[in-house]
Every structure is written in structure tokens, then in C-alpha cells.
A and B are shown apart, each in its own frame.
Chain A
């Protein structure tokens, strides 16, 4: 009984997910695409729950729905794409898209139909596998992921700094107006701008 319900849930979620994904790539209003994308990501969180990965489902909602979609909406607003109605892609681009996407799908399905996936490591997923996940992330033995985890935090820091530097307001350096150094509180900032200009 439970299996039937879960199977039905899988097919319902899969159908919603595919339809929403199609809406993401075909809608002409970019803000609506962001909302549909949020739907796809929520469905994905449901898939993770069905697969027994509760922690990942939580992370998916926190990071993807709470962070990435909001960032995308910001990007849409800041580039003033909201009032813009995107043109239909030209027939050549559309055809190219159809051919490549369908080719990939057919190739993949053919491969999957001929492959048998054998269980390599027997056993069952521990019921609450969040603890196992945490131990794996902080384990610095040969089976652990402590180093990739730390590298990942550096990557996130780098991305943050890079994002700020690329998108910040063009400062006095770029406009050619030098700030007068030694004006009370802005002394440090003035010193900084001169260093940047000097290099």
C-alpha cells in the first residue's frame, strides 16, 4: 500500500517537475521563468525526500529556493528584464535546440535501457542519514571529505568577493575623479584609492 502511494507520488512529482521545467525554458516573461524554476526546485526537494535524503531536501529548499532563486530574481530586476518580453527564438535556434536536446535524450535512454545497475555495496541507507553525512564531511581519513569541504568554503568566499568586486558601483577611480586624501574620516579610503590607481 505504502509502495503504491509512494510510486504514485513519484509519477505526480515527475510530471509536475517536467511540465514546470518546460515552462521555465519556453515562457517569454523572465520573472515567470524564475517562479517556475522555484517550482522545479521544490519538486526536486520532494524527490530527495522520496529517495531518503532528508538533509539534502532541507538544504535544497534553504539554498536553492531561499538563496539562488532570490538571487536570480534580483538579477532579473537589476537588468530590467521584467518589462521586457523576450522574442521568440529564431527557427534555426529552435531547431538546433530540439535536435541537440532530443539527441541527448534518445542517446541517454538507449544507454539506460541496455545497462543494468548492479548493487556494488550491499546494505541499507541508515534511517537518519544526516549524522552519517556530517561525519563523512568532517572525516579526514581516506574515506572522508574534509579537504573538499574546506576547499568549497574557500570557493564560496572567492565567489562572494568576486561578485562584490565585479558588480560594485564604479568608484572614483574609474570615473577619473580622485578623492582628496586627508579629509577627516575618508582618509583611509582615499589612501586606498591612490594605491589602486598606482598599481
Chain B
């Protein structure tokens, strides 16, 4: 298969899955390197988003007669909304008492 043929044929399941694993690993990089807690929350959103993309891809390419994957994806979106609400509340409360949301300074339980 030549290079140009790959780009003309319709994207298969593997193309989609490689895309979502790319997004997932970018999210992992963000979680490990961000210092601001809100930035970590954003990276988590990237992870959840790529996971829900995966569900829809498998729905289309593995079980196209049903919509179970889309239902799961809907659930992922709802859980992500709940997670962001609680995360934001925690960070705001944390900022009120510590005056920072830098995760490298959150070592209260270390010593």
C-alpha cells in the first residue's frame, strides 16, 4: 500500500484509535507536567474526551447495529461534568486557605 493510498481510503477503526491514543498520551503528559491544578483538570478533560471518542468508534466499527457505545459516551460526558464541578469547588476552597493552586506545594502530608 503506497503512502497516497492510505490517505485516500476512508479512515478505519485503527486510524480512529490511533488518533484517540495520541490525544490520551498528550493528556497524560499534561497531567504529569502541569503545576497549576486547573491545568491538571484540563488534561483530565482531554483524557475523558479521548475515552468517549473511543466508545463511539467501537460502536461504529464493531457493533454498528446498536447504540450502546453512544450511551456510554453520554455517561462519560455527564461524569466529566460532575467531576469538573467538584474539582473546581475543591480548588476554590484550597485557594482560599492556601493562596495557591500549585500542586508542587501541596505536601502537607509528606512530613
Query: Closest approach, in angstroms, between the C-beta of B48 and any C-beta of chain A?
Result: 9
Q: Are B64 and A79 neighbours in the complex by a CB distance under 8 Å?
A: no
Among B15, B60, B79, B95, contact of A52 (Cβ-Cβ < 8 Å): B60
Check B25 against A10 for contact (C-beta < 8 Å).
Answer: no
B61 touches A121 (CB 8 A): no
A25 lies within 8 A of B33 (CB): yes
A7-B86 contact given A48-B56, A124-B65, CB 8 Å threshold:
no
Instruction: Give residues of chain A (88-118) contacting chain B, Cβ–Cβ below 8 Å.
Output: 89, 93-94, 96-98, 100-102, 104-105, 108-109, 112-113, 117-118
Chain B nearest CB from A161 CB (Å) reads 10
- State the CA gap A84–B35 with chains docked (Å): 12
- Residues of B near A21 (CB, < 8 A) are 22-23, 26-27, 46
Describe A's contact surface by its main secondary structure. Answer: helix
The verdict on A196 contacting chain B, using a C-beta distance below 8 Å, is no
Given contacts A7-B9, A56-B74, contact A129 B81 (CB under 8 A): no
Contact with A along B1-36 (1 / 0, CB 8 A): 000000111110111111101111111111011111
**B81, A163: Cβ atoms closer than 8 Å:** no
Report yes or no: B43 in contact with A25, Cβ–Cβ below 8 A.
yes
Say whether, besides A21-B27, A81-B36, A117-B61, A55 and B78 are in contact (CB < 8 Å). no
CA distance A68 to B77 in the complex (A): 10
Instruction: Check if A123 is an interface residue, CB within 8 A of chain B.
Output: yes
> A residues near B, CB below 8 A?
3-4, 6-7, 10-11, 14, 17-18, 21-22, 24-25, 30, 33-34, 37, 40-41, 44, 47-48, 51-53, 55-56, 59-60, 63-64, 67-68, 71-72, 74-76, 78-81, 84, 86-87, 89, 93-94, 96-98, 100-102, 104-105, 108-109, 112-113, 117-125, 129, 132-133, 136-137, 145, 148, 152, 155-156, 158-160, 162-167, 170
Q: Which positions in B face A, CB cutoff 8 Å?
A: 7-11, 13-19, 21-30, 32-39, 41-43, 45-46, 49, 52-53, 56-68, 70-71, 73-75, 77-93, 95-96, 101
